[in-house]
Amino acid sequence: MKNQNGTFKDWANANVSRQIEDTVLYGYYTLYSVILFCVFFWIPFVYFYYEEKDDDDTSKCTQIKTAFKYTLGFAVICALLLLVGAFVPLNVPNNKNSTEWEKVKFLFEELGSSHGLAALSFSISSLTLVGMLAAITYTAYGMSALPLNLIKGTRSAAYERLENTEDIEEVEQHIQTIKSKSKDGRPLPSRDKRALKQLEERLRTLRKRERHLEFIENSWWTKFCGALRPLKIIWGIFFILVALLFVISLFLSNLDKALHSAGIDSGFIIFGANLSNPLNMLLPVLQTVFPLDYILITIIIMYFIFTSMAGIRNIGIWFFWVRLYKIRRGRTRPQALLFLCMILLLIVLHTSYMIYSLAPQYVMYGSQNYLIESNITYDDHKNNSALPVPKRCDADAPEDQCTVTRTYLFLHKFWFFSAAYYFGNWAFLGVFLIGLIVSCCKGKKSVIEGVDEDDSDISDDEPSVYSV
């Protein structure tokens, strides 16, 4: 709606601007409502439906009833979040001596004037906070694990098979040694019985590994991946450079907030960028040429999705110290896939604030400029003149001169969420550095990583050809 010199375009009058802002705002209402529906209704219903489906004696009607019953709990949580967000007083009544009824009336008037923005913003911010925890756990680690795994590659299937054959022979020798103690009819001691049971279980696992390794060694997919090895190294180097770019930009942005923000009570809002970072400088420039900024934003979001997938695949899905599911290609349970969808949905939701952290100028105002009066003194020092000079919009700009993006309103309606996001960014940086050290110290992954004694999600059937 504005020219590069800071003036409004001819068609951008107050009515047109308001209509555009409302249209974009209602678009966010629709999209965020879809997210609430997926998180609190659709995904929980399907999850509990599949949980009941595991029981062979359960009928379809019983499955649906049970799924609805458990989904009702999530619906109550969603309703509570909306109610809390609707009636949290963001503004205090001017009259301190007002009655309780006047205070309640004020809350309803504030709710009506905001058109439900506060209620939806509180619910979305709560989900974004959960997405922040998922991003700290999975995305930060995946940003280091994914590129280094691509660069290091996996171990040779033929070499692993040779090692596995040697292990099988060694275990069989131990089993024969223990069984030889009972050839004369004497019973084995309890200690030898326990050791024999463990060795037989170990032998079954090694033979299962042998079948997987033999299948993978002779598969065409292994040969195809070997031919793409140079390309994987290039992608790994590219991903680690992108990760370093993100980390540097996030560190500079957080450092700027720590040094120049208005404090924790304002959600660490900054009035203008004092420490520039690469993405904060690049995105406003790209916005002037449609659609370069959208292309870069899409690349950033896809990068977060890929790194989050890598983190989830390496770590698994955990509830505190209890591992719930593993993510394996072609061998993942439906419930684990639903958890994966929800985690990715919440991480992508948190990406909105992550992009603000990386490029606050772009998220708040884009490439908007406004005019300020600048005194110019001529060479003869006799005359002074005030000329309008364009300046980049920031948080200190007049409200009637710069239009704040609608997504910023959703992200910063409540200062305590912004403060939590700020501290979460520091935790994100810390987990990334820890993950980088761990990924550097770890050796190459096994070509059949995940086939171990406690892997309950892997069957003895023929392995997936895409497990490399």
Domain borders along the chain are: 88-368+403-453
Q: What's residue 450's pLDDT?
A: 52
**pLDDT value, residue 191:** 81
Q: Write the pLDDT tens digit of every residue in 4-47.
A: 777 777 777 777 777 887 888 888 888 888 888 888 899 888 88
Q: For 41-61, what is the mean pLDDT?
A: 79
Contacts 24+ apart (CB under 8 A), 384-393: 388/6, 390/4, 390/5, 390/6, 391/6, 392/284, 392/361, 392/365, 392/368, 393/364, 393/365, 393/368, 393/369
**Coil, helix or strand at residue 36:** helix
Q: What does the pLDDT look like over 198-208, one tens digit per residue? A: 888 888 888 88
Q: Which has more pLDDT, 468 or 393? A: 393
Q: What is the pLDDT of residue 190?
A: 80
Question: Both ends of the chain: CA-CA distance in Å?
Answer: 51
Burial (CB count <10 Å: 0-12, 13-18, 19+), residue 327 = buried
pLDDT at 356: 81
Instruction: Supply the DSSP string of 282-320, one letter for each residue.
Output: HHHHHHTSTTHHHHHHHHHHHHHHHHHHHHHHHH-EEET
CA 71 to CA 334: how far, in whole Å?
Answer: 17
The per-residue pLDDT of the chain, averaged, comes to 78
pLDDT of residue 466: 41
- The first and second tokens of residue 154, run together, are 């996996």
In this prediction, residue 383 has a pLDDT band, given cuts at 50, 70 and 90, of: low
pLDDT of residue 452: 47
Residue 208's SS3 state is helix
Q: What is the distance between the alpha carbons of residues 356 and 367, in angstroms, rounded to a whole number?
A: 14
* Residue among 425, 431, 428, 415 at smallest CA distance from 125: 415
User: Which residue in 134, 147, 195, 164 sits closest to 340, CA to CA?
Assistant: 134
Tens digit of each residue's pLDDT (9 = 90 or more) over 225-267:
778 888 888 988 988 898 998 899 889 888 888 888 777 877 7
Judged on CB neighbours under 10 Å (0-12, 13-18, 19+), 143 is buried
- pLDDT for 272: 61
| E strand map for 326-403 | 369-377, 384-392
Give bridge partners of residue 154 from the DSSP assignment: 445
Residue 133 has pLDDT above 70, yes or no: yes
| pLDDT cut 70: percent of the chain above it | 84
Cβ atoms of residues 132 and 421 within 8 Å: yes
pLDDT at 89 over 70: no
Per-residue model confidence (pLDDT) at position 462: 45
The pTM (predicted TM-score) of the whole model is: 0.75
CA distance 315 to 142: 9
